[in-house]
Amino acid sequence: MDKDKQFSKLSDHTFKKGVLYTPFNSSLGDQLSLSPWAIEWLPEYLWLALILEQYGREDGLNVVSRIAGELSKIDKGLCIPMLSKIIELEPQKQRIFYEVICKWATRDVLSPLTIIYRTDKYALFYEYFSDFETSIDEKTVTLQNVIEKNLFHQTNEATDIRFLILWFNVFAERIHFARGMEITKALVEYPKLSHDHQEMRLYRSLIRSSEMALRFREGNGDFPKRFWHSLGLLTKCRTFIIDYGEQVGGSVSFLEDAVNTIDYLMANNKESLLTDEKFSVCLGIATYALKIYKEVLESRIGDGILGRNALRTITEVYVTLKYMSLKEQDQPDIWKAFKDYGIGKYKYVILKAREVEPDLEKHHFALPVLEALLNEDKGEEFTNMDTRLFDNQNIRKKFEAIGENDLYDLYYEYDTNFTHGLWGAIRESAMIFCDNPSHKYHTVPDITFEQKLRSVEHDCEYVLKKLFNQLSSFYEFPDFFIDKYGGLDD
């Protein structure tokens, strides 16, 4: 994270009708209309970028300044930087415009654009700037390089273009700045100073904000969309895989120690295992979480989608255990209620299966086994199906009640995206960057299954230690475990 950049806090957002609005969006509301530089405006000014690329910053700024100055002397109406408006000029004025460009810059400078603008609609542009000595591939690479440098609106190269846009408008007398204004000084000093100069930090921000203000008066229709479409079809995707490097993994020794601890508890609480609902539920939850963790380690799914589903489940059963221990004093039968709720959920599935009578030969649940579990403690005709879990409290409130807000925000909430297949999770795990600037760095499906995620193994162990810390508050733990892990919550 960029520590120097100021981001709005969650508390700064405004909640309205189920939506958290950013401070910026909340203040502007429906009046806000986004006009992204890369998508909507860069195609208009690539001809300026190509000149700067060919001649370098100092000479390039001078060349464009001479072009704008001469155009303004001929006809201020001709002094326009937007390519969409240039190619819409009547033929005679287009020729004048192109002749001025060719006076100060060689024709081959703008030739890369002729791979896009080459039909009858752009006949004059193609006539002036086509270059048959340079291959299409070479022109494409040149365009890609220029786009890469200017795609982000705050790069030095993009700011140079935005300075030229203002300069065209000054020559055309479409905008005026009073003496003494900072932007006036910036326009005069900007081409004289290198980007390393300390004053340029202020000047760049002034240039960008002033250029952005001009866009409210401009419109360019489908021109940029057609540009990106045409260029995109000419080039291939280049997939970019994020490598997270070596990561902190889980510990097989912790898993073994945890299993031995469960075994110890069983041996030293034999009677409780036979009759105590709480003991049965606690050990059941702990063993369930450990089995999930074992699958994460052995199947090596910690850096995959299922690993995040596993962590979410481990987190939820830990919270359930701690929440029940919190509510036990007011609801002594909460452990039995937990079991009854779970068996009731199974009963619902069984009854539905019997109604539709599907072919369960290949189904992932075994109906006879489920029926045996349903009737294990009492006949199913005496088993109700309670749709409420404990006091019907939502999961967020449970995290709050046990003092685990951070665990909800940074673990459960994030991993839930993967469980429900929401777009953030899909984007992170199944769609990868296309490292092609002419494709605007869009995303493509990871059909080679190369993209891995940050591993959850360490986090699973972290939550499991919390779970075992909770168990240790109920039952006496073996000395080897206490000596080795001590403060389990650390």
Tens-place pLDDT, residues 448-467: 999 999 999 999 999 999 99
- For residue 443, give the 3-state DSSP assignment: strand
Mean of pLDDT values over 204-223: 81
**What is the identity of the amino acid at 135?**
S
Query: Which residues, including other chains, have CB under 8 Å from residue 470's CB and lie 6 or more apart?
Result: 318, 321, 322, 325
Q: Which residue has the higher pLDDT, 349 or 89?
A: 89
Mean of pLDDT values over 112-138: 91
Cβ 187 vs Cβ 195: under 8 Å? no
- For residue 278, give the 3-state DSSP assignment: helix
Q: Where are the domains of the chain?
A: 1-30, 37-235, 252-331+390-485
- From first CA to last CA, the distance across the chain in angstroms is 25
Tens-place pLDDT, residues 87-106: 999 999 999 999 999 999 99
Q: Which of 237, 235, 289, 238 lies closest to 262, judged by CA?
A: 289
Contacts 24+ apart (CB under 8 A), 89-92: 91/124
Mean of pLDDT values over 409-437: 91
What is the pTM (predicted TM-score) of this model? 0.76
Chain position carrying tokens 């004025």: 93
Cβ 304 vs Cβ 453: under 8 Å? yes
| Percent of the chain surpassing pLDDT 70 | 90
The whole-angstrom separation of Cα 449 and Cα 365 is: 28
Is pLDDT above 90 for 362?
A: no
Q: What phi and psi values does residue 338 have, to the nearest 5 degrees?
A: -60, -45
Is pLDDT above 60 for 340?
A: yes
The pLDDT, as a whole number, for residue 390 is 67
The pLDDT, as a whole number, for residue 34 is 47
The pLDDT, as a whole number, for residue 122 is 92
Q: Which residue has the higher pLDDT, 420 or 251?
A: 420
Mapping DSSP onto H, E and C, the string for 36-101 reads CHHHHHHHHHHHHHHHHHHHCHHHHHHHHHHHHHHHHHHCHHHCCCCHHHHCCCCHHHHHHHHHHH
C-alpha angle with apex 19: 16 to 25, nearest 5 degrees? Answer: 80
The pLDDT, as a whole number, for residue 235 is 82
Cβ 262 vs Cβ 289: under 8 Å? no
